[in-house]
Structure 1
């Protein structure tokens, strides 16, 4: 009996040991899927076309391939539709977890291919810098749109909108309006094809929220916004005194963008 009990325990123990890695992996994947995305929005200020080419070559040939190998599938790269002088470059990187952000730089530092392909950008001398300045924001996705949605690869324009608030409380109330009062659902129903909504947790001009929507062209943009303003559900939400823009939003900025040929968004 003792021998039989020992054999039984050994078999069960072996089965558990074999199954644990698979179970652990499944739990990790399910947990990651349930978590909200994080986004880095990086804005390059440039002074000329030479800098633009240097940054774009780096993004296309070095950065995007390297981060893809680290499990990051969506990097959007955009230029301004109507720049005032030299265009800025906007780079949106999607992270499934904060751990991805934490480990990425270590991965890049040890990636010799990345270092070689990005050398002109990474090692640009002070006398000929690759850019004038980089401004970065870290955002957490809204609960009612926890993951980035990349639109179809067709001719399109993007609108990047930022809502600044006078206080953290006002900013949270505006986020509540999008999440809990159905404002995000209106955008989806009317065909704005939203890419992401994010609350800025680190970055300039806080408190603010930022979101990105997309259109076929400028005429479609105008038509969609006209439909939004006239939408009965929007009129009902916006008529609630506690959700008045005068209380919740101190400034709105809108930037029209076009994706580069190699953009993954």
Structure 2
């Protein structure tokens, strides 16, 4: 009987371990690409490629939605950057994606002017890439719940950098333990919350919320600052000094963006 109990406990532990791993695997993987551009011609070439070649190919190869965003006019980098958000179900899917594109003859044809651009007429200055994993309490991306015209919306992309890995993990814990709930309650319509697993500004987390317009965006942050739940958690000892830099980007979605 004792041996049977030991065996049963061992099987339970294995099942629990496998279950935990399965849950971890269900967290989305995101690729966030930032194209740095210098001219309207580069922007036009990139728009054409993304709309007519890349996004249709992504849909063909299992990526349901691709987000494409640009800085709003008031931002200092307006006209200089294009953000492309690509959600994958797993790292394996992410790793296989480029190979699928390179075998897709329709993609190669539709994207020819971008793919085979001359060295002295490139479609961008450079590309930055961050690989992200959805947070445990918000493991999947979501389309915005907003219904107003895309051109009027403000999409807010934030990166919170931590001074150390330990303090960064505490900020992630803060998000998973209630901070995300405040955004949800205030109808900030989040697209994603994620931990950066490869990128230029680690350790950092990133997230994107959406607002009908700038006035409502500002009102949301005003409400966030006085929210009772935020007041209760922001001064807790375990969450002090968890953010060394807040990088905020105010964006709008292109007319061909899925998100």
Q: Would the TM-score normalized by the shorter structure come out above 0.5?
A: yes
Rounded Cα–Cα distance in structure 2 between residues aligned with 1:104 and 1:114? 13
1:176 pairs with 2:170: no
The structure-2 alpha-carbon separation of the partners of 1:232 and 1:83, relative to structure 1 and needing over 3 Å to count, comes to closer
Q: CA 1:125–1:157 in structure 2 vs 1: closer, same or farther (change >3 Å)? A: same
Report what 1:55 is aligned to: 46
Match of 2:91 among 95, 98, 109: 98
Q: How does 1:37-186 map to 2 (within 5 A)?
A: 37-81=28-72, 82-84=74-76, 86-151=79-144, 152=146, 154-155=148-149, 156-179=153-176, 181-186=177-182
The structure with the larger Rg is 1
Tell me the TM-score normalised to structure 2 length.
0.87
1:154: how far off? Answer: 2.8
> Is the 1:40–1:93 contact (alpha carbons within 8 Å) kept by the matching residues of 2?
yes
Structure 1 residue 232 corresponds to structure 2 residue 228: yes
Instruction: Give the alignment's Cα RMSD to 1 decimal.
Output: 1.4
| TM-score of the two chains, using structure 1 as the length reference | 0.85
User: 1:191 corresponds to which residue?
Assistant: 187
Ranges of 4+ aligned residues in structure 1 off by more than 6 Å: none
Structure 2, unaligned stretches of length 5 or more? 1-21
Aligned residues: 232
Contact 1:32 1:96 (8 Å CA) reproduced? no
In 2, Cα distance between equivalents of 1:34 and 1:153: 32
Q: Following the alignment from structure 1 to structure 2, what is the Cα–Cα distance between the partners of residues 86 and 147?
A: 30
The residue aligned with 1:12 is none
1:116/1:164 CA distance change after superposition, 3 Å: same
| Unaligned stretches of 5+ residues in structure 1 | 1-30
Determine if the alignment matches structure 1 residue 207 to structure 2 residue 192.
no
Which residue of the partner structure matches residue 264 of structure 1? 258
Distance 1:91 1:209 in 2: 17
Q: Is the 8 A contact 1:164 1:171 kept in 2?
A: yes
Maintained 8 Å contact 2:25/2:90: no
Does the 8 A contact of 1:174 with 1:248 survive in 2? yes
| Post-superposition CA distance 1:122-168 (Å, at most 9, x none) | 11111111100000000000011010010145322100011011111
Change (3 A) 1:33 1:207: closer
Q: Deviations over 1:2-41 (max 9, x none)?
A: xxxxxxxxxxxxxxxxxxxxxxxxxxxxx69970001111
Q: Secondary structure, in 3 states, of the residue corresponding to 2:118?
A: coil
